[in-house]
Amino acid sequence: MPEYGADKTIFSALLDARDQFGGQRPALEDPERAPLTYNRLILGALVLGKAFADITERGEAVGLLLPSVNASVVSLFALSAYGRVISPLNFTSGLKNIRSAIQSAEINTVITSHRFVEMAKLDDLVDGLVEQAGVRIVYLEDVRQSVTSLDKAKAVLKAPFARLLHARHALDPHEAAVILFTSGSEGEPKGVALTNANLITNVDQSIRHFGPELGPPHILLNPLPVFHSFGLMAGVLLGLYAGIKVILYPSPIQYRQVAKITRETGATILLGTDTFLQGWMRAADDGDFDSVRFVVAGAERVKDETRRMWAKSGTVLLEGYGVTECSPVVAVETLEHNKPGTVGRALAGQELRFEPVEGIAEGGRLYVRGPNVMAGYIYASMPGVLVPPEDGWHDTGDIVSMDEAGYLTIRGRVKRFAKIGGEMVSLGAVETLAAELWPDGQHVAVNLPDPKKGEQIILVTDVAHADRMAVLAQAQKNGYPELWVPRAVLVTQSIPILGSGKVDVVATTELAKSMRSMLM
């Protein structure tokens, strides 16, 4: 047996899943409620793939500007089938970031949809990409109209030989297959080049990690975007390769609709972030989530209040930890090994290294090496140039501790510590303190320069009655260090959130700066 998925591509792994679970098995569904079987998904990929191959070159990076719907996944497999590099673009990140991504990955062609552009009001964005980035925009509706009955008939005849057809076009499993861009939550987005082997390995690692808990007859609801590594790997590839029917929903912020579609589809597994999980539960009617056996949460720390909310519905909340550069899952809780407050145990096949950080007593800076670690970064300053991780080790930038049983606890990002009077203070700890006071609110601690102490901590919150004295009293009551108490508490109507569900730290910091200056 080969080690994990080192000899597969994204498309060949889909063919393997078809052979294992049956071509007529429902594989994919979206709000249109027209399920695709494995056979129809593969046939659609062959038809679209041939059309895409006629206008692009093997090994060329092609952008996907599409929401999480069936067409997006079919397009993804279509590009893989014919050996193109796939780059899902974050349509919520704005023209500047998307243009940077296109230039970094040297993308000449972007695939999108007339309907999506119209519904999402992205006309100005698309026009800007053409004018400023010089890309060719290809609309799926136009491609479908150009496909003739003869083209479809040829695809039907080729379908039984899809593996041989793919072998003629496939990229090497260790070449870049997908280029994702980091969220930019703390700086300029970087291109992350993931190989077929990286992604398939991480799927295999996850399936083995969960064991019998994962597989048919589960139904997975994924409301997360496919331009995010969590939504792509866990929300699409993992489900399809494990024989789990995947239900896609294109907008995680439509809280009521997510709850409604969960009830309608009988989903048993749900993916989300802490922010979205709270929103979905608050918008739900009684019984909407009764079918959900477990939720897998990632991308941001899970609050105690979120756990309590989901426990009331009888759903087990499993927390995981991942980074795009690791394809993305590094560790995750399972039904058998679930220790709240941790992110579970690391997936097998990885090496973990903890480097001490001055001023931080508990945990160390986590480095990861393994077959799921990216091929390298692509920077905007060096378009098309792949910069591999040094000696294969990826620096996560996170402070992590591991107990004797192997459970990992995320203490915070190195960048999310403030140095005050020579001591390091976790901004995550400040947010936890605020959450104890106001569990229904959203709280973000940021650090700003301070001429006397080096840095000062500012708490930004959407709780209208929040104030610093309440935080101080809570800290004194529970014996927390006074350094945890923010210098100021700033109230805003809403906290900036990225399309991936993470807090936009950059935007929140800028908001804190502007609000602070108005008060001074």
- What b-and-e string marks burial along 282-320, b requiring 16 or more CB atoms within 10 Å of the CB? eebeeebbebbebbbbbbbbbbebbbebbeebebbbbbb
Q: Specify the DSSP element, H or E, that contains 424.
A: strand 423-426
Residue-level pLDDT at 2: 44
Q: Are residues 75 and 115 part of one domain? A: yes
Closest Cα to residue 397, out of 423, 422, 377?
377
Closest Cα to residue 243, out of 78, 20, 43?
20
3-state helix/strand/coil string of 460-478 = EECCCCCCHHHHHHHHHHH
Cβ contact 282:288 at 8 Å: no
- What b-and-e string marks burial along 37-61, b requiring 16 or more CB atoms within 10 Å of the CB? bbebbbbbbbbbbbbbbeebeeebb
Q: Are residues 324 and 201 part of one domain? A: yes
Cβ contact 126:117 at 8 Å: yes
Q: 410 lies in a domain?
A: no
Residue-level pLDDT at 81: 95
- Look up the domain containing 486 and give its range: 421-519
- Boundary-marking domain end, from 368, 401, 434: 401
Q: Are residues 342 and 206 part of one domain? A: yes
What is the Cα Rg of the chain in Å?
23
Q: Are residues 428 and 396 part of one domain? A: no
CATH assignment at residue 90:
3.40.50.12780
Q: 408 lies in a domain?
A: no
Cβ contact 220:271 at 8 Å: yes
Listed in sequence order, the residues at least 6 apart from 12 whose beta carbon sits closer than 8 Å to its beta carbon are 163, 166, 170
- Boundary-marking domain end, from 366, 401, 436: 401
Q: 2 lies in a domain?
A: no
Pairing of strands 423-426, 417-420: antiparallel
d(CA 96, CA 286): 42
Q: Are residues 509 and 465 part of one domain? A: yes
Closest Cα to residue 43, out of 147, 182, 189?
147
> How long is the chain?
520
Q: Are residues 349 and 200 part of one domain? A: yes
d(CA 395, CA 387): 13
Listed in sequence order, the residues at least 6 apart from 290 whose beta carbon sits closer than 8 Å to its beta carbon are 263, 313, 314
Q: Are residues 377 and 482 part of one domain? A: no
- Boundary-marking domain end, from 347, 366, 401: 401
Alpha helical stretches, state H, 62-139: 70-81, 94-104, 114-119, 123-128
Q: 446 lies in a domain?
A: yes
Closest Cα to residue 419, out of 459, 451, 447?
447
- Residue 213, both tokens: 């808990």
What is the number of domains present in the chain? Answer: 2
Residue-level pLDDT at 513: 76
CATH assignment at residue 455:
3.30.300.30
Q: At what angle do helices 149-158 and 38-53 cross, to 10 degrees?
A: 120
Q: 3 lies in a domain?
A: no
Q: For every one of its 520 residues, what pLDDT tens digit does the chain have, with 9 covering 90 and above?
A: 345 556 899 999 999 999 999 999 999 999 988 899 999 999 999 999 999 999 999 999 999 999 999 999 999 999 999 999 999 999 888 888 888 899 999 999 999 999 999 999 999 999 999 988 889 999 999 998 888 888 788 878 888 888 888 989 989 999 999 999 986 545 567 899 999 999 999 999 999 999 888 888 899 999 999 998 999 999 999 999 999 999 999 988 899 999 999 999 999 999 998 888 988 999 999 999 999 999 999 888 888 888 888 888 889 999 999 999 999 999 999 999 999 989 999 999 999 999 887 767 788 899 999 999 999 999 888 888 999 999 999 999 888 999 999 999 988 776 666 666 556 677 777 877 788 778 888 888 887 776 665 677 888 888 888 888 888 888 777 777 777 788 888 888 888 877 656 677 777 877 777 776 665 5
Residue-level pLDDT at 421: 56
In order of 104, 278, 283, 359, the CA distances from 255 in angstroms are 34, 9, 6, 41
Q: 4 lies in a domain?
A: no
Q: Are residues 317 and 270 part of one domain? A: yes
Q: 414 lies in a domain?
A: no
Residue with tokens 């003869």: 150
Q: Are residues 506 and 457 part of one domain? A: yes
Residue-level pLDDT at 1: 34
The number of beta carbons lying within 10 Å of the beta carbon of residue 227 is 26
Q: 55 lies in a domain?
A: yes
Q: Are residues 379 and 447 part of one domain? A: no
**DSSP secondary structure code for residue 501 in this structure:** S
HSE-CB for 376 with a 13 A CA cutoff: 16
Q: Are residues 386 and 477 part of one domain? A: no
Angle at 162 between CA 158 and CA 168, to 5 degrees: 105
Cβ contact 67:232 at 8 Å: no
Q: Are residues 192 and 77 part of one domain? A: yes
Cβ contact 74:68 at 8 Å: no
Residue with tokens 């802490």: 274
